[in-house]
Amino acid sequence: MNVQRVFVATVLCVLAAVALTADGTKEAKFPEREIEVMVPWAAGGATDVTFRAFTGVIQKYLGVPMIISNKPGGAAVPGYVEAMTKSPDGHYLVAWATPSITVTHMQNTPYDATTFEPVLNIVTAPVWFLVPANSPYKNLADLVADAKKRPGMINLGNAGTGGGTHMIALAFETAAGAKFNHVPHAGGGPTVTAAVAGQVDVITVGPPEGVPQLASGQLRCLGVFSDKRLEQFPDYPTAKELGIPFSMGQWRGLAVPKGTDPKKIKILHDAFKAAMADPEFLAIAEKSGLLLDYRDTVSFRKLIQEQDLVYKTTVQTNKLGDKYK
């Protein structure tokens, strides 16, 4: 009996020690409540779709629900400015994507590529050009030929001035030797809606944007800006196949406010990484057209740093925006 008592006492002491931090205080459970992911673009866009794919599975790995908070408009600047005021307690995350940093070189913003702490990258998707079903353009070559004949007369919709799709479209202009009239929208969702309604001639978005409309026949794909045809969409030719040596895409991941405990960042990273391998998530991702590209915290930070320099150079070289004037 005495042996049993000693054993139980020992176990209780060990458990108590595990529950205490180095300074003798009890370590709080994390996460303690639901987590919020702020998406600074409209519902239905590629970034929004990416994170909504997690809402049904992430609780398995974090133990709490996840909610999406959309803050569209203003080239995502208002959403990120609000995010800067949030507590770095690990329960508030931001969708951190290519347009998050491109706009910081188009105009003076209160934040830059280093303001938020990276957690992980989730997808990387090349951009594609989509047109309404009744468009006269059959492929990118047709579109470019007309744009050269009528410079600035073809309305090309994008997901926001200074955003990734806008920048990539500008880079494509240079590669193709054509000129478009760029029409900004408050995110990828509204951009797709504008194309379906025939309000623009062509749009520049990326998977999963436009996937349902392509499947239903409301939109057609003129070409993809990737090095090779996408495995999920093998019928869509690349720009290179059509004689235009150009490929470029966008990444989308998660970040948290500066000052968030690295231990909490790791917990979030590990949970989302595990969820990315969940069969339920994979089924949703495939149906939505998400092109998964996991990168851990360190490699994601490196990608952001590299891309930040690329877009800074692009803006300065093309004399875009007003930040560097």
What would the pLDDT profile of 238-254 be if each residue is shown by its tens digit? 999 999 998 888 899 99
- Is the confidence at residue 8, as pLDDT, over 90? no
Per-residue pLDDT averaged across 84-101, rounded?
96
Mean pLDDT score across all residues of the chain: 89
Kindly report the pTM of this predicted structure: 0.76
Exposure string for 105-128, b = 16+ CB within 10 A, e = fewer: bbeebebebebbbbbbbbbbbbbb
Percent of the residues in the chain that have a pLDDT greater than 90, as a whole number: 68
Place of tokens 């000693």: 6
DSSP letters spanning 240-297: TTTT-----EEEEEEEEETT--HHHHHHHHHHHHHHHT-HHHHHHHHHHT--EEEE-H
Q: What is the pLDDT of residue 6?
A: 42
pLDDT the model gives residue 317: 80
User: Does residue 167 register a pLDDT over 90?
Assistant: no
In tens, the pLDDT along 149-163 reads 999 999 999 988 878
For position 216, what pLDDT does the model report? 96
